[in-house]
């Protein structure tokens, strides 16, 4: 394993922040260190040679792709998606004919397509504005393409069955050149945008914000700032869904939400 210490990590984060305006200083350092070590081993680099290569735009994109976590699946945690379909979205529809949803840290788009399928099967896809954002432009392009490894579709299909969808996941994709290519009409009205959760501002108001299993890679100070942004981004009585290992209990805006479903980590904004 490559040898790297806290001083090396600071050199790397300061360079990226100063030269490229990406701020990783408040990422959970243990996780950040593991990913830096992986990059050093993957490209057979020293810390010094990594710092030199980070001035190359193409390598920077590859670096960001490795640093940001992009492992996901469709209908991950099927019980979560059932609660969205059976409880949360019907509750939103009581007060809104149109729904606005933000997938923050959308990664390669499996969650976005899951949401689109759910909404289509509820026959309300045409009434929903969806914005999907990520820091990594390469991963956003993958999300837009909706092309996934066929070997992953068995797990996705099992999740869909446990979600209790109305058909088969195969109804929503075609096999093309060894890939599962999703039906583009599902995301025809989805806006995919580059957005930095750390430095990016508030750009809209939403009825539902999903940011699942992203903040576990942030330290508490950064989690707190990001959760404040989500609070500001929600309409009053809007919903926030976070990851199973994440919590709102300790943060500054905890008293502005109520727990709707503790097991699925879904919260409702009750105060501006």
Of the pLDDT bands very low, low, confident and very high (cuts 50, 70, 90), residue 66 is: confident
Q: What percent of the chain has pLDDT over 90?
A: 72
Nearest of 66, 67, 107, 109 to residue 213 by alpha carbon? 107
Mean pLDDT computed over 223-231: 96
- Per-residue pLDDT for 85 more than 60? yes
- Per-residue pLDDT at 110: 96
Query: Burial of 243 by CB count in 10 Å (0-12 exposed, 13-18 middle, 19+ buried)?
Result: middle
Owner of token pair 């109804």: 171
Mean pLDDT computed over 250-267: 96
Mean pLDDT computed over 187-213: 94
Q: Is 220 left (phi over 0), alpha (psi -120 to 50) or beta?
A: alpha
Of the pLDDT bands very low, low, confident and very high (cuts 50, 70, 90), residue 49 is: very high
Q: What is the pTM of this model?
A: 0.84
CATH number of 78-269: 3.40.50.150
Reduced to 3 states (helix: H, G, I; strand: E, B; else coil), residue 209 is strand
Query: Burial of 176 by CB count in 10 Å (0-12 exposed, 13-18 middle, 19+ buried)?
Result: exposed
Q: Name the segment(s) of the chain with CATH classification 3.40.50.150.
A: 78-269
What are the C-alpha distances in Å from 256 to residues 91, 262, 272?
19, 16, 7
Return the exposure string of 181-211: e unless at least 16 CB atoms fall within 10 Å of the residue's CB, then b: ebbeebbeebebeebebbeeeeeeebbbbbb
- Per-residue pLDDT for 1 more than 60? no
Of the pLDDT bands very low, low, confident and very high (cuts 50, 70, 90), residue 70 is: low
Mean pLDDT computed over 20-36: 84
Mean pLDDT computed over 197-209: 94
- Per-residue pLDDT at 213: 85
Average pLDDT, the chain: 92
Of the pLDDT bands very low, low, confident and very high (cuts 50, 70, 90), residue 253 is: very high
- Per-residue pLDDT at 71: 62
Of the pLDDT bands very low, low, confident and very high (cuts 50, 70, 90), residue 109 is: very high
- Per-residue pLDDT at 82: 98
Query: Burial of 227 by CB count in 10 Å (0-12 exposed, 13-18 middle, 19+ buried)?
Result: buried
Mean pLDDT computed over 66-79: 83
């Amino acid at each position: 394993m490559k040898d790297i210490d806290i001083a090396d990590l600071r050199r790397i984060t300061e360079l990226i922040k100063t030269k490229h305006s990406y701020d990783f200083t408040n990422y959970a350092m243990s996780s950040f260190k593991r990913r830096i070590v992986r990059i050093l081993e993957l490209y057979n680099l020293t810390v010094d040679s990594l710092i030199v290569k980070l001035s190359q735009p193409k390598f920077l994109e590859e670096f960001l792709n490795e640093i940001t976590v992009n492992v996901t699946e469709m209908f991950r945690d099927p019980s979560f998606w059932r609660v969205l379909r059976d409880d949360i979205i019907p509750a939103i529809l009581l007060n809104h004919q149109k729904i606005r949803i933000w997938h923050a840290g959308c990664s390669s788009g499996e969650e976005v397509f899951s949401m689109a399928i759910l909404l289509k099967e509820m026959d309300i896809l045409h009434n929903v504005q969806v914005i999907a954002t990520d820091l990594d432009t390469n991963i956003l392009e993958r999300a837009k393409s909706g092309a996934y490894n066929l070997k992953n579709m068995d797990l996705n299909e099992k999740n869909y069955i446990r979600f209790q969808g109305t058909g088969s996941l195969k109804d929503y994709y075609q096999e093309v050149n060894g890939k599962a290519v999703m039906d583009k009409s599902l995301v025809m009205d989805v806006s995919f945008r580059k957005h930095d959760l750390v430095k990016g501002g508030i750009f809209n108001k939403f009825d539902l914000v999903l940011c699942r299993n992203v903040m576990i890679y942030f330290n508490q100070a950064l989690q707190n700032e990001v959760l404040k942004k989500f609070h500001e981004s929600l309409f009053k009585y809007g919903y926030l869904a976070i990851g199973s290992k994440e919590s709102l209990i300790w943060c500054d805006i905890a008293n502005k939400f109520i727990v709707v479903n503790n097991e699925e980590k879904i919260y409702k904004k009750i105060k501006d």
